[in-house]
């Protein structure tokens, strides 16, 4: 599975990506979580 989350604290914006490998019973086999600070210029809004 792959999830992307965008977090904002004050004027700083971060994109976090979570990679998860699961077995047939949906038990987690491997999990990694990577965040990076998004620097300007970036566009705010849906579909940008």
Rounded CA-CA distance 44/28 in Å is 33
Which residues span the domain enclosing 19?
Answer: 2-38
Does residue 29 belong to any structural domain of this protein? yes
Does residue 12 belong to any structural domain of this protein? yes
Does residue 43 belong to any structural domain of this protein? no
Give the DSSP H/E element, type plus range, for residue 18: strand 12-22
Total Cβ atoms within 10 A of residue 17: 13
Does residue 21 belong to any structural domain of this protein? yes
Total domains in the chain come to: 1
Q: What is the mean pLDDT of residues 9-13?
A: 88
Q: What is the mean pLDDT of residues 41-48?
A: 69
Tokens of 19: 């990679």
The answer, as to whether pTM is greater than 0.85, is: no
Q: Are 13 and 5 in contact (CB under 8 A)?
A: no
């Amino acid at each position: 599975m792959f999830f992307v989350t965008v977090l904002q604290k004050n004027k700083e914006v971060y994109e976090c990506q979570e990679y998860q490998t699961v077995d047939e019973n949906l038990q987690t086999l491997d999990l990694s979580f990577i965040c990076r600070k998004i620097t300007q210029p970036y566009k705010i809004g849906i579909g940008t």
